[in-house]
Structure 1
Amino acid sequence: MVALPVKPQFCVGPIILALTAIILFFAGTTIYDLLAYDRYALQSMETWRLVTGSLMHTNGYHLLLNIVGLALLWALHGEHYQPLKFIKLFIWCSLGTSVGIYFYSPTLIWYVGLSGALHGIFVWGACMDLLNGLRTGGLLLAGVTAKLAYEQYQGSSADVASLIDAQVAVDAHLYGAISGGILFLLMWLFTRAVGRLSARRETL
């Protein structure tokens, strides 16, 4: 039986993210309109929407689906989720998702939800598994690649769109996943560079 990463240091980040999304969901339409990703508002320099749009949701089903997705990611990769690192990872994946939408999906005017960032966190976690010698990381990467390819070819699910009362932004999933991969690569390169620098200092 696989043990869940229930130690506090592995749970704090996901709990903070989930509670923030829940609180904002019940904060009312004024907050929703102020924080959602909106292309025209971004053109007016409301740049906070690049991150906060990921925290907003269309309805309770949308929120519930993303909270369940977050819980599954924690179950898979929670041992990598030190609180500050996890929050930074979410912010960068949200930013990468929104920037990707802005520059490469100009017809997508409005976007909300955790799913783009969650795809990024998923990819990052799978890469961390591979780095730690877990072959399941490769299977997870293959699975998410197949899912993204299917979405790009087939489009979004009509059933899910009906449930969340909005079109599923499959491009956001793609940009989020790419962001997670890039973040892992940058962090890995930075860690290697620091390690080499430390080794050189020790030999002097």
Structure 2
Amino acid sequence: MFIRNETFYSYRKNYPIITGLIVIHVVLFLWVNLSRYTGGLIPFGWTIFQLGVGQTGLIASGEFWRLVTPIFLHEGMSHVLFNSISLILFGPALEKMLGTTKFITVYLASGILANIGTFFLTGPYYSHIGASGAIFGLFGVYLYMVLNRKDLIDSVNAQLISIILVLGVVMTFLNPGINILGHLFGLISGAAIAPLVLFNARPFHMQPRRPASSGGGVAFNPNRWQKRRIFSGKRAARYVGWAFVILVIIGIISRLF
């Protein structure tokens, strides 16, 4: 569910919304920073950034577009890398399960609600950017699946997403400069929206159907929650270890840039 083995071409073809979001992340990031550090040789980038930041006081004065635009803006290299990689790994299953309209709805609604929560609970000079609230909204959908829709996620992936969620929440409180409220409101928003968008969802499969000789049913084992309990031991520790390594690498990159 979260292991990517597609080619670049097949990934773009199978997950066009996620691909489009990542392109927006990278293009805006490069545009803003090249404009900022080249003394204006590349026009409008820094203006876009200034107009798009989620600034509480400006939102209160009527600039309500700032509840949406921060979802697509990033400033630091580690910020855009972390959010884009999170989308690449954890977005595809939901894009296939929900479909284009529902996926976009969950993503944008979670991000906007996260920014609304931030707006009401911060002072007039507080500023924030980033897709983290929207991405935590996707995690919120997965959390709802783990708790209430076990027919949509197997036990291995349920335990993996639980580990990632715990790490994400812990890092939210440990890392300086993170919009804690945005992360938490995004997670809660995604979990709250989940029942509305999952009512007719089907489990995600890299190969949706078996060959006709096997009966043509979906490749889905209804007893999968009773198997592979070994994941809770060494494999869980391995995932935690790799997650820690990834976080360390991202921390090093952030210091370099």
TM-score interval, smaller chain: 0.7 to 0.9
Counterpart contact for 1:90–1:121, Cα < 8 Å: yes
Q: CA deviation at 1:88?
A: 1.8
Letter in 2 for 1:112: I
The letter for the 1-side match of 2:59 is L
* Residue segments in structure 1 that go unaligned for 5+ positions in a row: 162-166, 193-204
Greater helix proportion: 1
Distance 1:63 1:37 in 2: 16
Q: What's the C-alpha RMSD, in Å, of the aligned pairs? A: 3.0
Deviation at 1:108, TM superposition (A): 7.3
- Structure 2 counterpart of 1:32: 49
Which of 7, 13, 18 lines up with 1:14 in the alignment?
Answer: 18
Provide the identity percentage.
23
- Alignment match, 1:104: 121
Q: Structure 2: which 5+ residue stretches go unaligned? A: 33-44, 202-257
In the TM superposition, what are the counterparts of 1:45-64 in structure 2 within 5 Å?
45-64=62-81
- The verdict on how the C-alpha distance between 1:59 and 1:104 changes in structure 2, with shifts beyond 3 A counting, is same
Aligned to 1:147: 167
Corresponding position of 2:215: none
The aligned counterpart of 1:170 is 180
Mapped to 2, the partners of 1:148 and 1:60 lie a distance apart of: 18
Count residues in correspondence: 181
1:156 aligns with 2:200: no
Residues 1:54 and 1:133: Cα distance change in structure 2 (over 3 Å): closer
Give the counterpart of 2:97 among 73, 77, 80. Answer: 80
Structure index of larger Rg: 2
1:95-126 per-residue CA deviation (whole Å, 9 max, x = no partner) reads 11101111234477111011121111122145
Asked if the contact 1:37–1:50 (Cα under 8 Å) also holds between the matched residues in 2, the reply is yes
Indicate if the aligned counterparts of 1:116 and 1:177 stay in contact, CA closer than 8 A. Answer: yes
1: distance between equivalents of 2:170 and 2:115? 21
TM-score normalised over the length of structure 2: 0.60
Question: Contact 2:113/2:185 (CA < 8 Å) preserved in 1?
Answer: yes
Tell me what 1:135 maps to: 155
Partner amino acid for 2:78? Y
1:69-106 per-position Cα deviation (integer Å, ceiling 9, x unaligned)? 11121356453253332222211011111011112344
Q: Can you list the C-alpha shifts for 1:14-64, whole angstroms capped at 9, x where unaligned?
A: 011111122222151100011111101101111111111111111233212
Structure with larger RCO (C-alpha < 8 A, sep 6+):
1
1:179 is aligned to 2:189: yes
2:12/2:19 contact within 8 Å kept? no
Compute the TM-score of the two structures, normalised by the length of structure 1.
0.73
Distance 1:95 1:11, change over 3 A: same
